[in-house]
Amino acid sequence: MHPIKVILADDHKLVRQGMRALLDAQTEIEVVGEASDGQEALKLIETLSPDIAFLDVMMPNLNGIEVAKIVRDRKSRTRLIFLSMHANATYVVRALQSGALAYVLKDSDFSEILQAIHNVLEGRRYLSAAIADEVFEMLLNSDVEKVDSLNVLSPREREVLQLVAEGNTNAAIAEKLSLSVRTVESHRAHIMAKLRFGSQAELVRYAVQQGLISP
């Protein structure tokens, strides 16, 4: 029987090291790679084609939600599990909408992580018990519509939004995304118009609310 190949994507090295130690102790699991940001995670998923990728919601350069959407759109065989400190139903619903099958809190027992792994390999969803009720309540109350505001932006605009909110200049964003400064300025203007923002402060607050950056 082949081992379950896993990659870990989290911008905190200690989290990755702790998870790796726990997973490496399981004879049926092999950790084949680690990433510290979303762009690195995408490259590992594309090159290594792991069975499972653990993603954090908030990661620099490209957040976990955007990684999941790209993986979904590329029809990758890799199953996605979010491992997050954020017990927020909005984040969970967005993660599931983006293509993930499981959302596990970082303070969960390791047994929950193993259960999530086996669930997603069988094509079933898994939510940490601590957040399940809040997620179902949101869905029943139709608050899920509040989660969809990011969908008015194109994938590239969402990338630019995160980088702007992280404090990058237009020139820095242009270099990171291999775009011209004029193109970045255009994307930035479209973001402000589509989301009806009048200031940088509004944009940053929105990015925090959506889980794109840490408060």
Residue 147 has pLDDT above 70, yes or no: no
Q: Which of 26-30, 93-97, 148-152, 198-202 has the highest mean pLDDT?
A: 26-30
Q: Residue 148's pLDDT is what?
A: 62
Q: How far is CA 143 from CA 92, 140, 147, 201, in A?
A: 13, 8, 8, 25
- Same domain for 199 and 95: no
Residue 146 lies in a domain: no
pLDDT in tens, 49-106: 999 999 999 899 899 999 999 999 999 999 999 999 988 888 888 888 899 999 999 9
pLDDT confidence band for 141 (50 / 70 / 90) = low
Q: Strand, coil or helix: what is 29?
A: strand
pTM above 0.85, yes or no: no
Residue 147 lies in a domain: no
Note whether residue 33 is domain-resident.
Answer: yes
116 and 162 part of one domain: no
- Residue 148 domain-assigned? no
Report the alpha-carbon angle 41-106-132, nearest 5. 105
Q: Same structural domain for residues 111 and 163? A: no
Q: In this predicted structure, what is the pLDDT of residue 145?
A: 52
pLDDT of residue 11 exceeding 90: yes
Same domain, 129 and 35: yes
In angstroms, the CA 45 to CA 150 distance is: 24
By DSSP bridging, strand 52-55 and strand 29-35 are unpaired
Q: Which domain holds residue 203?
A: 153-209
Average model confidence (pLDDT) across the chain:
89
What's the total number of domains in the chain?
2
Pick the more confident residue, 141 or 152.
152
127 and 43 housed in the same domain: yes
CATH, residue 9 = 3.40.50.2300
pLDDT at residue 208 is higher than 90: no
Let me know whether 161 and 92 are in one domain. Answer: no
Would you state the pLDDT for residue 204?
A: 87
Q: Are 83 and 112 contained in the same domain? A: yes
User: Do 102 and 124 sit in the same domain of this protein?
Assistant: yes
**Residues 118 and 18 placed together within one structural domain of the fold:** yes
Q: Could you give the CA distance from residue 98 to residue 67 in angstroms, rounded to a whole number?
A: 9
- Asked if the model's pLDDT at residue 210 lies above 60, the reply is yes
Q: What is the CATH number of the domain that holds 180?
A: 1.10.10.10
